[in-house]
């Protein structure tokens, strides 16, 4: 059985969280790629080494936990909006269970922005939809999870949620990969893809800079070719790191959750 078939079968029988599913694949040493793996090795080879080869355990950063809870709350909100009735109580219970004070307000305000800016006129095909996709010979299957997949007739819309203190330049590779999976699976006549970004704010009535931003990502045959090139180049580096145990350090330590346990962590100087 091929790696793609094995992962597809396991995904169909997945019982638990997507993160737990990925950890099981790692424990079973099943080869796979993901956008996270590619972005990790591109930003810092040594980060990839710590995260995926050494599997160093670090405490979950606050921003990751907040982002995770937002995604869960967003999934609840979208399913409710699709049914035409919105009940804030399940969302409030989820947020209140994990956060209080300023962080709680951040999440509540972000969900309010999501509701205000919901994509109108679409039916919800799926929220938090995991998938596996073959990328051809010589490259392991790619695994991902789509935050929101919408449909209106023969048109589909892929949405990825981003959260943080500020708006950042987003990497179109992620949505190009998700978009390609939807294209292969549903054969839509029209397919759009967006990053919906939510900025943490304490009070929606007292902001000078918008707290929500929507960015469309175009995917052409040329951009898909470039995406595949990045995947293959990233995998080539991954194979070298896993085979030799050698990895260069990058220059994004300030944004790396492994900086506290990394021998090469540097702030303001390069290695």
Residue 14 lies in a domain: no
Q: Are 58 and 254 in contact (CB under 8 A)?
A: no
Please give the pLDDT value at position 1.
53
Q: Is the pLDDT of residue 268 over 60?
A: no
Residue 227 lies in a domain: yes
pLDDT tens string 92-102: 999 999 999 99
pLDDT tens string 155-193: 999 999 999 999 999 999 999 999 999 999 999 999 999
Residue 125 lies in a domain: yes
Residue 18 lies in a domain: no
**pTM for the structure as a whole:** 0.91
Residue 9 lies in a domain: no
Tell me the residue ranges of DSSP E strands in 184-253: 190-199, 212-216
CATH classification at residue 255: 3.90.320.10
Mean pLDDT score, 122-151: 95
Residue 171 lies in a domain: yes
Residue 200 lies in a domain: yes
Q: Structural domain tally of the chain? A: 1
Q: The domain containing residue 96 runs over which residues? A: 32-261
Rounded Cα–Cα distance for residues 46 and 58 (Å): 15
Residue 270 lies in a domain: no
> Which of 2-11, 85-94, 186-195, 256-265 holds the top average pLDDT?
186-195
Beta pairing partners, 105:
none
86 confidence band (pLDDT: 50, 70, 90) = confident
As a residue count, the chain comes to: 271
């Amino acid at each position: 059985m091929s790696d793609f078939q094995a992962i597809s079968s396991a995904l169909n029988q997945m019982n638990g969280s997507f993160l737990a599913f990925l950890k099981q694949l790692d424990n079973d040493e099943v080869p796979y790629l993901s956008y996270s793996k590619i972005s990790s090795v591109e930003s810092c080879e040594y980060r990839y080494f710590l995260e995926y080869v050494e599997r160093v355990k670090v405490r979950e950063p606050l921003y990751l936990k907040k982002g995770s809870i937002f995604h869960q709350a967003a999934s609840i909100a979208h399913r409710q909006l699709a049914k035409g009735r919105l009940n804030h109580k399940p969302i409030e219970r989820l947020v209140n269970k994990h956060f209080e004070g300023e962080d709680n307000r951040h999440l509540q305000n972000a969900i309010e922005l999501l509701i205000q800016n919901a994509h109108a006129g679409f039916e919800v095909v799926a929220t938090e939809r995991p998938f596996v996709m073959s990328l051809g010979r010589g490259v392991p299957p790619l695994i991902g999870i789509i935050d929101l997949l919408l449909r209106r007739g023969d048109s589909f819309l892929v949405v990825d949620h981003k959260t943080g203190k500020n708006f950042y330049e987003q990497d179109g590779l992620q949505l190009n990969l998700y978009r390609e999976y939807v294209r292969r699976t549903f054969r839509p006549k029209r397919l759009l893809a967006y990053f919906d970004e939510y900025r943490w704010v304490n009070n929606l009535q007292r902001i000078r800079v918008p707290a929500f931003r929507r960015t469309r990502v175009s995917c052409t045959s040329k951009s898909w070719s470039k995406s595949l090139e990045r995947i293959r180049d990233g995998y080539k580096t991954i194979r070298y790191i896993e085979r030799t145990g050698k990895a260069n350090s990058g220059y994004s330590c300030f944004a790396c959750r492994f900086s506290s346990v990394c021998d090469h962590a540097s702030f303001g100087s390069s290695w």
